[in-house]
């Protein structure tokens, strides 16, 4: 096996420490000019596990901040929730996605300030919805696509369906499909019914196509019964349940009349593929599936919009 | 405070040790003539916790069997599943509810034989469903009511909706509504959103009446958003979620055209009350809510039908 050595292109100066600090994971990037990723890290220190936000932040970022002491830091996600490091508030929908500096919440830490991005809040007809972190991914998506008038679907633990027009978020809906999947397959009777999962595209397709007329709680029990009756392999049960859950979500939330080119998926590649398959059953093809680091680009864009980035950094460029 | 002493009526002889051995609980009764309950016990040694079925059985029943060595023992429920003490098979629906002796599965134990009741299996149009334990409650219900042509709803972890006519089970459907509630409120983000539950009938009614158009996974996230937005007290969230889940089940499974007098509820009193309230939103009033020990009477009936009960027990009557 040959090892090929490349000349590493000279990285530009560090300009921003950017964090997507969610419910389960903390992802951190050291960004250079134009949001170029110079370094990236991930740990499981999300809201569910973190005990000391300041210590976790220091563990993840103190070497970056030590090497680049003037570089600002920004974070989005559940770190700004009422259960997070500090409550970072919400912008109310409809709202522009150019976030003002005054909307950021500063949190002092031992090497400076961490700026928290606000979430979005939507209220309509007595129904409330919230997001925290996905607004930053949306900003990254809009920067990548240079498109408008979109339905952006961000699959995940709490999947978001977001209507965007004229660079404003008009409305959104959340479905806790990913959370239901996790609960069922980790803690429920289906966890005892399943064997070690073997990817099974056919089982996913069967789940997508299952009769929805008796409702989700009945369809989910049907997955167990199908295994007990040898109609479904225990190892195929996770994919079948994934199909049931995604089909139920898409059936309820995919608008009936929406030009195909307006739907964009953004998230984990495997989840985007699953949602894309579910859309196909309704004759819909997404215009794009963005599986890259939309959050990193979104954080960069927010920092730039808010004037956090100093225009030049000669001291670093010569270091 | 006066203490009134009653003469205890002389109990008849012990005739049957009867067990309802389910997923989470093991309930045991010592039954006398006509299925009269002489003694009753419950422990959490269900399928999810039990490690040694023989040892658990002995812990629960050895004193009864020691005092009444000729009394037969019978059990229904998950003890007869493939993950139970021994697989007790299924009767295939449509089936008569008079169970034959040959359908019981004998399990030897150190004081005799425990007879396991088979479950029911339903297959129709590619869909399979199963029950194990509820068939015995149904037999008890039919014995109590002396009625026929019923839709019997048995609310629980896995709620059963059972069509009965001419003393036959014609069809049934299971919804894992109770399991979903438990998973969400024990392990999910809603568990972190809720405060210690305070019974809130108004919150349950709001959950029942919530807009179902975006689907269950979206309505469930809406419960969290409503708490974050101060529209729902954290202590009222469990009842609100209960309302959402039961409404979704009833919306899908309550037949559109069914004479009201034909619906019977059987189960925990609080759950029967909740389902009854959900039925009322559809203009349906159940003919009866059976909250007593239908399983004990069912086990008695099966033992009698199968000839397990010896006709007289003079040796015991004089002991």
Whether the CB of B229 is below 8 Å from some CB of chain A: the reply is: yes
pLDDT category of residue B124 using cuts at 50, 70 and 90: very high
Whether the CB of B158 is below 8 Å from some CB of chain A: the reply is: yes
Q: Please state, in angstroms and as integers, the Cα–Cα distance from residue B241 to each residue in A122, A126, A289, B194, B218, following that order.
A: 20, 17, 33, 10, 12
Asked whether the beta carbons of A154 and B251 are under 8 A apart, the reply is no
Question: CA-CA distance, A153 to A159, in Å (whole number)?
Answer: 7
ipTM (interface pTM): 0.89
Whether the CB of B130 is below 8 Å from some CB of chain A: the reply is: yes
Say whether B245 and A217 touch across the interface (CB within 8 A): yes
Q: What is the pLDDT of residue A3?
A: 42
Whether the pLDDT of residue B315 is over 50: the answer is no
Q: What is the pLDDT of residue B133?
A: 96
The stretches of B38-120 forming alpha helices (DSSP H) are 53-67
DSSP per-residue string spanning B154-223: E-STTEEEEEEETTEEEEEEEE-HHHHHHHHHHHSHHHHH--S----HHHHHHHHHS--TT-HHHHHHHH
Tell which residue, B166, B144, B145, B161, has the closest CA to residue B95.
Answer: B166
Asked whether the beta carbons of A70 and A45 are under 8 A apart, the reply is no
Question: CA-CA distance, B219 to A252, in Å (whole number)?
Answer: 11
Asked whether the beta carbons of B120 and B90 are under 8 A apart, the reply is yes
Tell which residue, A105, A36, A48, has the closest CA to residue A74.
Answer: A105
Say whether A249 and B176 touch across the interface (CB within 8 A): no
Q: Is the dihedral of CA A83, A85, A86, A87 positive or negative?
A: negative
3-state secondary structure of B308: coil
Residues of A in contact with B211 (CB under 8 A): 127
**To which H or E segment does residue B269 belong?**
helix B269-280
Say whether A220 and B176 touch across the interface (CB within 8 A): yes
Q: What is the pLDDT of residue B197?
A: 76
Residues of A in contact with B180 (CB under 8 A): 180, 217, 220
Question: CA-CA distance, A173 to A163, in Å (whole number)?
Answer: 9
DSSP letter, residue B1: -
Task: Tell me how crowded residue A65 is: count the other CB atoms within 10 A of its CB.
Answer: 23
DSSP per-residue string spanning B118-153: PEEEEEETTEEEEESSHHHHHHHHHHHH---SEEEE
Q: Please state, in angstroms and as integers, the Cα–Cα distance from residue B167 to each residue in A5, B94, B96, B292, following that order.
A: 79, 10, 6, 21
Whether the pLDDT of residue A149 is over 90: the answer is no
Task: Tell me how crowded residue B256 is: count the other CB atoms within 10 A of its CB.
Answer: 5
Residues of B in contact with A191 (CB under 8 A): none
Q: Is the dihedral of CA A57, A58, A64, A66 positive or negative?
A: positive
- Which residues does A128 contact at the CB level (< 8 Å), separation at least 6? A121, A122, B222, B225, B226, B228, B229, B231
Whether the pLDDT of residue B94 is over 60: the answer is yes
Whether the CB of B87 is below 8 Å from some CB of chain A: the reply is: no
**To which H or E segment does residue B15 belong?**
none
Provide φ and ψ at A22, rounded to 5°. -100, -160
Asked whether the beta carbons of B298 and B138 are under 8 A apart, the reply is yes
Region B108-117 average pLDDT? 95
Among A248-252, A306-310, B260-264, the range with the most confident prediction by mean pLDDT is A248-252
Region A2-24 average pLDDT? 74
Chain position carrying tokens 């029967």: B272
Question: CA-CA distance, A216 to B181, in Å (whole number)?
Answer: 13
* pLDDT tens digits for range B37-87: 999 999 998 888 898 999 999 999 999 999 999 999 999 999 999 889 999
Radius of gyration for chain A, computed over Cα atoms and rounded to the nearest angstrom: 21
Among partner residues B23, B215, B224, which is closest to A249 by beta-carbon distance? B215
- Which residues does B236 contact at the CB level (< 8 Å), separation at least 6? B198, B200, B202, B203
Q: Please state, in angstroms and as integers, the Cα–Cα distance from residue B251 to each residue in A125, A191, A248, B16, B154, following that order.
A: 22, 27, 15, 41, 16
Best of B206, B218, B242, B249 to substitute, by most chain A Cβ atoms within 10 angstroms, is B218
Assign 3-class secondary structure to chain A: CCCCCCCCCCCCCCCEEEEEECCCCEEEEEECHHHCEEEEEEECCCCCCCCCHHHHHHHHHHHHHHHCCCCCEEEECHHHCCCCCCCCCEEECCEECCCCHHHCEEEEECCEEEEECCEEEEEECCEEEEECCHHHHHHHHHHHHCCCCEEEEECCCCEEEEEEECCEEEEEEEECHHHHHHHHHHHCHHHHHCCCCCCCHHHHHHHHHCCCCCCHHHHHHHHHHHHHCCCCCHHHHHHHHHHHHHHHHHHHHCCCCCCHHHEEEECCHHHHHHHHHHHHCCCCCCCEEECCCHHHHHHHHHHHHCCCCCCCCHHHHHC
Whether the pLDDT of residue B126 is over 50: the answer is yes
Q: What is the pLDDT of residue A259?
A: 67
* pLDDT tens digits for range B202-229: 999 999 999 999 999 999 999 999 998 8
**To which H or E segment does residue B89 belong?**
none
Specify the pairing of strand B263-266 against strand B150-154: parallel
Provide φ and ψ at A120, rounded to 5°. -120, 145
Beta strands in B1-61 (DSSP E): 16-21, 26-31, 37-43
DSSP letter, residue B117: P
Radius of gyration for chain B, computed over Cα atoms and rounded to the nearest angstrom: 21
Q: What is the pLDDT of residue A319?
A: 39
* pLDDT tens digits for range B251-280: 999 988 776 668 999 999 999 999 999 999
Whether the CB of A123 is below 8 Å from some CB of chain B: the reply is: yes
The answer to whether the bond into A179 is cis (omega within 30° of 0) is: no
Q: What is the pLDDT of residue A1?
A: 36
Whether the pLDDT of residue B105 is over 90: the answer is yes
pTM score of the predicted model = 0.89
CA neighbours closer than 13 Å in the CB half-sphere of residue A188: 30
Chain position carrying tokens 């199908």: A226
* pLDDT tens digits for range A178-236: 999 999 999 998 998 888 878 899 999 999 999 999 999 999 999 999 998 899 999 99
Residues of A in contact with B222 (CB under 8 A): 127-129, 174
Whether the CB of A183 is below 8 Å from some CB of chain B: the reply is: yes
The CA-to-CA distance between both ends of chain A, in Å, stands at: 37
């Amino acid at each position: 096996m040959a090892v090929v050595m490349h000349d590493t292109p000279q990285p530009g100066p560090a300009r921003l420490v950017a964090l997507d600090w969610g419910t389960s994971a903390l992802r951190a990037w050291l960004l250079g000019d134009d949001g170029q990723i110079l370094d990236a890290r991930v740990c499981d220190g999300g809201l569910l596990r973190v005990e000391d936000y300041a210590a976790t932040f220091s563990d993840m970022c103190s070497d970056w901040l030590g090497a680049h002491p003037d570089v600002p830091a920004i974070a989005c996600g559940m770190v700004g929730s009422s259960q997070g490091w500090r409550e970072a508030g919400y912008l109310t929908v409809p709202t522009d996605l150019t976030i003002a500096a005054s909307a950021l919440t500063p949190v002092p830490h031992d090497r400076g300030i961490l700026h928290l991005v606000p979430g979005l809040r939507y209220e309509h007809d007595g129904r409330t919805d919230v997001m925290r972190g996905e607004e930053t991914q949306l900003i990254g998506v809009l920067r990548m696509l240079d498109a408008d008038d979109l339905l952006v679907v961000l699959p995940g633990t709490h999947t978001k369906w977001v209507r965007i027009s004229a660079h404003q978020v008009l409305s959104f809906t959340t479905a806790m499909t990913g959370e239901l999947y996790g609960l069922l397959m980790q803690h429920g009777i289906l966890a005892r019914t399943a064997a070690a999962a073997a990817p099974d595209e056919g089982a996913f397709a069967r789940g997508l196509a299952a009769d929805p007329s008796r409702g989700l709680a009945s369809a989910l029990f049907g997955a167990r019964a199908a295994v007990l009756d040898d109609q479904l392999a225990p190892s195929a049960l996770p994919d079948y349940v994934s199909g049931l859950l995604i089909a139920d979500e898409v059936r309820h939330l995919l608008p009936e009349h929406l030009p195909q080119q307006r739907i964009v998926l953004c998230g984990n590649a495997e989840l985007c593929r699953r949602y894309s398959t579910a859309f196909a059953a309704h004759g819909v093809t997404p215009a794009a599936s963005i599986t890259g680091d939309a959050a990193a680009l979104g954080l960069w864009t927010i920092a730039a919009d808010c004037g956090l980035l100093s225009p030049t950094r000669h001291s670093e460029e010569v270091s």
